[in-house]
Chain A
Amino acid sequence: MARNAAISITAMKLEPQGDTLRITDIAELGAANSNVVRDQARAALAPGLINIEVDLSQTSFLDSCGLGALIALHKTACDRGGKVSLLRPQSAVERVLELTRLHRVFKIVKG
């Protein structure tokens, strides 16, 4: 359970891989850090990077603010002719995506 999970925004890693920006190690994506995640991702989006992959395998929590950040990044990627992929979401996070019908918007890559 999430009780002892560190709530850290600095643990997040951003690394370019070809034309894709990979974002990993997000413990939670919620109101407390969604804007930071969005802004850091946009800042890291150097020219030539068109796709964004968000690794959600370590993400135990996603709320509507976190969804807002993902949608913002989706728009940015679309503007560049790319897309956002969400990798290996945990079941709770996947459920939020399905609940809000956003699994139709993002490409979800399962384990």
Chain B
Amino acid sequence: MLTEIGATRPATLRLTVPCDLKEVRPAAQEIAAFLAEQNCNHDEMTACGLALAEACNNAIHHAPSDAHSFPIRIETQVTRDAIEIRVTDHTHGFDWPKDIALPEQGSESGRGLFIIHSVSDRAGYLRGQDENILFFRHVRTSRPKETDLAPRDSVTEQLIDEVSSCYESLAAIFRHSAAAHAGTQFQAFAQQLLNDLQRIVKADWSVLRLLSADAKSLEVFANSGADPDHPSVILDASGVLPQEPEAQAASSRRPVWFNDATSSGLAYPIFGSEQLAGTLTLGRNTKGQGTIGSTIFNTSQTNVISTLADFLMIQVERARTAEAQLTTRATERELEIARNIQLSLLPQQLPSLPGVRMAGHCESARQVGGDFYDALPVGDEATLLVIADVMGKGMPAALFAATLRTALRTAPELFRKPGQLLARANQLLHNELSAVDMFITAQLALVDVKANRVIIASAGHGPLLLWHGGTTHCQALSPEGLPLGVRPDTSFEEMGLALAPQFSLMMSTDGLGEAKNIAGQHFGQPALQQWFATSARNSDTAIAMRESLLTELGNFRGEAPLADDQTFLIAARTPE
């Protein structure tokens, strides 16, 4: 029984032996010397040496040709009561026979397992995925007195044991760090880590559970060598002591040892930033011949489990952060595409209109909106100016802006009737816009220098500013009309005005008037109109006015970030 042992720490010798028959006896002799140091008697050494030779011969004889580069691992543990030796092979494995019988007398082979079985008190074979362990155990008849164990030696043994375990966990961490940085999927990574951990601490199975989003249960994330149908563990907040070791570990925030009908092991809570992140459970099968350990896990193995659990926790955090970053990156990518769409909507070159200069500006806030302006030539002496603001942000806004631009551009027969053009655009876009609760404000202005007239139509857009030469004030013109997408059949007022020989007009989105300074104050429509009247009087060209407005807005905003898209289009005629 497991608990009989462990009164003293086991002395352990780990050897790796090349997969070569000639290497077996020297290794056996090294182990014999180790057993002698542990005060094992001659019979014990002979029996173990023979069983070991048979186990190793077996591992070498049956290793597939591609496994000959893998060494055989031999672990020898000696306690006061027993000697246990485990030989790890890389063969395809075999089924340990239920009854081990001798072959017929004339057979030249087939006695190895019989010999192991005969000279050991217990023996068995554990089959793994890539490796198997043949173990045998020999109960000591030569129990040394307590005083035989020199304290110095036992301390040395412990240290060697510790160092050896530390080395194994460090090696695993390095290997897994490399894997984690290679962009391996986290689940596959966790799975691999479990496999390794299981091997290092000689567990039969392991399960990693992570806390669910609602923090009410521990969901299986990865498991190894275990029953694939591991259930989730429900965390009960009622204060009743939970049955499952994982739930106990989660509520007590301490490792919990368990020992039930089929297996025994350790449930280890994992924390990320002080919060419970999940549990790591490792166990050994204790029914049948599954038990290979002298205790469930010794101190070194427990240390390995806690080290790798902590490492795993860091990786859990890392994976979650990476996921969040991925989402952010995706959003940023979407915004970038939306921004590119928005930029592509702007005319590369504004059309020339006799005597009239034009200048436009469109600046996106971080959250891209659906602002755009356009200028479409109508014959040689007129231009249709367009400005629009799709209410909404990001990709949908950019797509609706693109659709509106196309809807307007593809109806040149209505360029001289901006009210009707808006009505047509509204009919085309209404269903799509209302389906997603979006709308568009837009403003059209047909500037006809031959007729010296401007015809304005607006779909719920802010006022168009018009200044006439020789005056000190500007007009703010807002013809009637609902935004596009509000009602299926909307009519739009067309407002016609005569143009003076010298004039400036400006169309803008409300981002201009709503520009905020660092104190949170709006630039405001009155300030905009005042700037416009002054600038129109003092500037020679539309381009000069644009630069003046940008300076003005920049000065007002100061360090404050751009809160909304700022888009405007200026057309000005100055006397020759």
Residues of A near any B CB (own CB < 8 A): 1-5, 7, 28, 30-32, 61, 63-65, 67-69, 71-72, 75, 92, 95-96, 99-102, 104-105
Task: List residues of chain B with CB within 8 A of the CB of A75.
Answer: 106
Ranked 6 nearest A-B pairs via Cβ: A68-B108, A64-B111, A31-B57, A31-B21, A64-B112, A92-B46
B33-47 vs A, CB cutoff 8 Å, 1 = contact: the mask equals: 100100000100110
B105 in contact with A99 (CB, 8 Å):
no
7 new A-B contacts, CB < 8 A, other than A69-B108, A92-B50, A104-B105, are: A2-B32, A3-B36, A30-B24, A63-B53, A63-B57, A64-B54, A68-B111
In the bound complex, how far is the Cα of B49 from the Cα of A71, in angstroms? Answer: 22
In the bound complex, how far is the Cα of B536 from the Cα of A44, in angstroms? Answer: 122
- From 309 to 336 in chain B, residues with beta carbon under 8 angstroms from any chain A beta carbon are none
Task: List residues of chain B with CB within 8 A of the CB of A7.
Answer: 22, 25-26
Overall SS of chain A's interface: helix
Overall SS of chain B's interface: helix
B1-40 vs A, CB cutoff 8 Å, 1 = contact: the mask equals: 0000000000000000000011011100100110010000
B50 in contact with A96 (CB, 8 Å):
yes
In the bound complex, how far is the Cα of B106 from the Cα of A27, in angstroms? Answer: 25
Please, which residue of chain B has its CB at the minimum distance from the CB of A5?
B29
Do A67 and B32 contact each other (CB < 8 Å), given the known contacts A1-B42, A32-B24?
A: no
Interface 9-residue window, one of B88-96, B114-122, B192-200, B566-574: B114-122
Do A65 and B26 contact each other (CB < 8 Å), given the known contacts A3-B33, A96-B50, A101-B102?
A: no
28 contacts between A and B (CB under 8 A): A1-B32, A1-B36, A1-B42, A5-B29, A28-B25, A30-B24, A30-B25, A31-B21, A31-B61, A61-B49, A63-B53, A63-B54, A63-B57, A64-B54, A64-B110, A64-B112, A64-B115, A65-B109, A67-B111, A68-B109, A72-B108, A75-B106, A96-B50, A99-B115, A100-B111, A100-B115, A101-B105, A105-B105
In the complex, which of the residues B32, B108, B112 has the most CB atoms of chain A within 10 Å of its own CB atom? B108
A31 in contact with B111 (CB, 8 Å):
no
Partner of B105, one of A1, A31, A96, A102: A102
In the bound complex, how far is the Cα of B24 from the Cα of A95, in angstroms? Answer: 21
A32 in contact with B29 (CB, 8 Å):
no
In the bound complex, how far is the Cα of B105 from the Cα of A100, in angstroms? Answer: 9
Task: List residues of chain B with CB within 8 A of the CB of A63.
Answer: 50, 53-54, 57, 112, 115
Do A71 and B107 contact each other (CB < 8 Å), given the known contacts A1-B45, A63-B50, A63-B54?
A: yes
Do A32 and B111 contact each other (CB < 8 Å), given the known contacts A7-B26, A65-B57, A99-B119?
A: no
Task: List residues of chain B with CB within 8 A of the CB of A61.
Answer: 25, 49-50, 53
Please, which residue of chain B has its CB at the minimum distance from the CB of A28?
B25
Task: List residues of chain B with CB within 8 A of the CB of A28.
Answer: 25
Please, which residue of chain A has its CB at the minimum distance from the CB of B114?
A100
B46 in contact with A32 (CB, 8 Å):
no
In the complex, which of the residues A30, A31, A61, A69 has the most CB atoms of chain B within 10 Å of its own CB atom? A31
Nearest-neighbour CB distance to chain A for B48, whole angstroms, equals 12
Nearest-neighbour CB distance to chain A for B440, whole angstroms, equals 87
Do A2 and B49 contact each other (CB < 8 Å), given the known contacts A7-B25, A32-B24, A68-B108?
A: yes
